[in-house]
């Protein structure tokens, strides 16, 4: 596995380009802390001049806080990517309406940037340790003296 930052020119070279990568750090905000390397097995193939296809598998584990009870939990990401790569210079002119399109400078293509974007898109919006973690904790407290329980019952 390669552990360096891969930047290369997609306008030159032989295709397909196959990469087996391990990324040790990530520069994304508002997601958990990276626990394990991001392992990516990616293949980039040429479709036509200036148009490329990227597919592969990305796996990693983050540690994040449950949005309900704030306990630390592991978030396992294991997903496939299947997208089109186009030059960022045509982004505003592109009318293809493809959902899975990644725009970047093709002469200085940064594979880490593509993987970070895919991780960000596939990271869950809501992280929960259990489906009903707060309701489980509230049911455990029902036998205890809850001073505002009558008010809460009236509202429900």
- With respect to residue 71, please indicate whether it lies within any of the assigned structural domains: yes
Q: pLDDT, tens digit, for every residue of 86-111?
A: 998 887 666 666 668 899 999 999 99
* Residue 137 confidence (pLDDT) above 80: no
Give CA–CA dist 109/106, Å, rounded. Answer: 5
Q: Residue 122 domain-assigned?
A: yes
Where on the phi/psi map is residue 73: left (φ > 0), alpha (ψ -120 to 50), or beta? beta
Q: Which domain holds residue 34?
A: 7-133
**pLDDT, tens digit, 9 for 90 and up, residues 40-63:** 999 999 999 889 999 999 999 999
pTM across the whole model: 0.77
Is 154 part of a structural domain of the chain?
Answer: no
Whether 145 is covered by a domain: the verdict is: no
Q: Report the first-to-last Cα separation within the chain, whole angstroms.
A: 55
In a domain, 67, yes or no: yes
Alpha helices, DSSP H only, in 1-148? 111-122, 133-141
Task: Tell me if 17 is assigned to some domain.
Answer: yes
| Residue from 41, 38, 7 nearest 23 by CA | 38
In a domain, 156, yes or no: no
Q: How many domains are contained in the chain? A: 1
């Amino acid at each position: 596995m390669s552990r360096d930052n891969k930047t290369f020119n997609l306008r030159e070279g032989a295709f397909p380009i196959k990469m087996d990568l391990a990324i040790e750090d990530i520069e994304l905000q508002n997601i958990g802390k990276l626990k394990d390397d991001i392992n990516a097995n990616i293949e980039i193939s040429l479709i036509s001049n200036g148009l490329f296809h990227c597919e592969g598998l990305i796996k990693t584990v983050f540690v994040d806080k449950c949005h309900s009870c704030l306990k630390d939990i592991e978030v396992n990401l294991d997903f496939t990517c299947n997208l089109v790569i186009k030059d960022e210079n045509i982004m505003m002119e592109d009318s293809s309406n493809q959902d899975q399109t990644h725009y970047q400078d093709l002469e200085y293509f940064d594979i880490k940037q593509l993987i970070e974007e895919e991780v960000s898109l596939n990271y869950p919006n809501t992280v929960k340790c259990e489906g009903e973690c707060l309701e489980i904790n509230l049911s455990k407290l029902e036998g205890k003296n809850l001073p505002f329980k009558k008010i809460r019952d009236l509202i429900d």
